[in-house]
Chain A
Amino acid sequence: MSDLIPREVLSFPSMRNLMRDFFSDPFFRDHGLAADEGNLALDVSEGKEGEVIVRASMPGFKREDIQLHLHNGVLSIKAESKEEKEVKEEKFYRKERRWGSVSRSVALPGNLDEGSVKAELKDGVLVVRIKPSPSAQPKRIEIK
């Protein structure tokens, strides 16, 4: 019968207070759990005339940090940031941003002209443009 000992039941307001206190606690308040865009977030879209455009979020990376390869329709991005070494001795309160090396490979849609790749890094976004292969265009076949 020991489980019949009366105890204070959490009433609705106090439960609400508990939740509020929990989420307003500085430790949880602006926790960066959802602040992560993942390992090298990408957009792949179709531009004019079937051109494929890849956008990669690469904040803090410099041109010379990034290696880009396109082979058999697979685009590989590999980058290593030097920022990490610069701030190694600092005292950290919060560390959410991804540093160091990131890499990602993505299979691109369609038949692409791999010789037409153009890449540009601007404001921390890598933009890669690839034109479709001429052989991907529908060919008119003459009937003899």
Chain B
Amino acid sequence: MYYGVKSSCCGPGESLAWRQARDQETTHPVPVDVFENKEGEYVIRASLPGFRREDVQVEFEDGVLTIAATRHEDRAEGAAPTTRYYLQERAQGRFERRIQFEKASGEAIRAELKDGVLTVTLARLKEAQPRSITIE
């Protein structure tokens, strides 16, 4: 996380090399919002700026939602690998996030990527209604 502008603005330094090395090895987390919509479904919103549909994978298995993505926009734009960075705060490489749901069903899962925001909708598992038994 580089908040300082001046310190990292003046050409590639040690911190940048370190950052790039770390980017290659690390899986970056994806910030998410999870809420319930009016229909009672779970809605997961993940910030994935710069990702295209083909870069993003969404899986739901055993109650765990996995969002995985790889960013390589610089390569896609045909920029030389020796591009000089004055400031590099945006992480590159692999991003992943797992979220566990206790009461979600993957049957009607929907996912949409728009303006760099991934929206996944999961239905809630219907809870078994308590059944009253008449004693005869």
Instruction: Tell me the A residues contacting B by CB distance below 8 Å.
Output: 26, 29-30, 32, 34-39, 41-47, 52, 55, 57-62, 87, 89-98, 106-109, 123-125
Contacts and interface: CB of A to CB of B under 8 A. Distances in A.
A30 B98 contact: yes
Contact of A35 (B32, B43, B85, B115): B32
B115 A94 contact: no
Interface string B29-60: 11111111110001101111111100000000
Shortest 6 CB-CB contacts between residues of A and residues of B: A124-B116, A59-B116, A124-B49, A35-B29, A57-B49, A44-B87
Given A62-B115, A96-B33, A125-B50, 14 more contacts: A37-B89, A41-B90, A41-B91, A45-B86, A45-B88, A47-B83, A57-B49, A57-B90, A90-B37, A95-B33, A109-B86, A123-B49, A123-B50, A125-B73
Interface residues of B, number: 46
9 contacts: A30-B99, A37-B89, A38-B89, A43-B89, A46-B84, A46-B85, A52-B86, A92-B35, A96-B31
B100 interface: yes
A95 B3 CA distance: 22
B120 interface: no
Interface of B: 1-3, 5-6, 9-10, 29-38, 42-43, 45-52, 73, 79, 83-91, 97-100, 113, 115-117
Contacts, number: 141
B34 A92 contact: yes
B91 A44 contact: no
Nearest to A123: B116
Given A37-B31, A43-B88, A44-B85, A97 B116 contact: no
Contact of A32 (B32, B79, B85, B116): B32
A70 to B, nearest CB: 15
Nearest to B116: A124
Nearest to B47: A59
A67 to B, nearest CB: 17
B83 to A, nearest CB: 5
Contacts of A94: 32-35, 99
A6 B100 CA distance: 41
